[in-house]
Each structure stands twice: as C-alpha cells, then as structure tokens.
Amino acid sequence: MKCKHCNCKDCVIKKGKTETGKQRYFCKKCGKTFVLGKIKRFYPEKLKKEAIRLYFEGNSSRAVGRILKIGKETCLRWIKACANKIKPKKYKNERLEVMEMDELYTFISEKKTTFFNNFIRKNY
C-alpha cells in the first residue's frame, strides 16, 4: 500500500477506524493519516429542513448549528441553497393610492425638516 501524500510503500501502517467504520492508515515517513477512498458526509433531508425552519424562526446560524450539532458553515450553505431556489415576486409599477400616516408625520412636518417633506413630495 502507498501513502497518499508521499507515495512511500513500506512505511504505511493501520491506525484504527473512522466513525463510519473505514480503515484509517498512518504513514511513518510523513506522519500523516489517511483513509482510502472518499469520505462522504451525509445529512438526511429531514435535518436540512429542520435547520432551515429553525433559521427562519429567528435563530442565528451558529445557534442552529449548536442545536442540531452541525457546523454553522454547513447550515449557512443549506440556507443559501434554499434561498437561491426562491424566485422573487414581480410587482407592477403602480402608483400609490392610499398612504397611512401617524402622529410622527405631523411632528416631523411641524419641525420644518426638509428631508422628510422632500422625500414625500418626490415619491408620492
């Protein structure tokens, strides 16, 4: 067997097993550990949906990762993938017909500030 990193043939020994049960090897020459073949981490779809639901309920990605015992980067990757699937709604360019104001508008307009009044005149 050859080392993946330094290609040494005679310096590879067995060094336990991984969490999934695959054989782990150690190279005496370069000091690196490796596993033959690719290690694929698999998360069930139910866990992904739960992470997205928790995030949209107001939890941070770090909190979601802590709750579900996954990495925060993994959680963010799932959320971004979900967000990319959602297409924004297209609205017609319609002029505003009704505008609701409260006492804040009257207070600002009485102070004679120009910013808010100019904003209202330009946009409505």
**Tens digit of each residue's pLDDT (9 = 90 or more) over 76-85:** 999 899 888 8
| Res 115 pLDDT > 70 | no
In a domain, 91, yes or no: no
In a domain, 104, yes or no: no
- Residue 59 burial class via C-beta count within 10 angstroms: exposed 0-12, middle 13-18, buried 19 and up: middle
In a domain, 76, yes or no: yes
In a domain, 95, yes or no: no
Per the structure, the complete domain to which residue 21 belongs is given by 1-38
| Res 95 pLDDT > 80 | no
Quote the DSSP letter at residue 10: S
d(CA 74, CA 53): 15
The pLDDT confidence band at residue 7, using thresholds 50, 70 and 90, is: confident
Give how many domains the chain has, as a whole number.
2
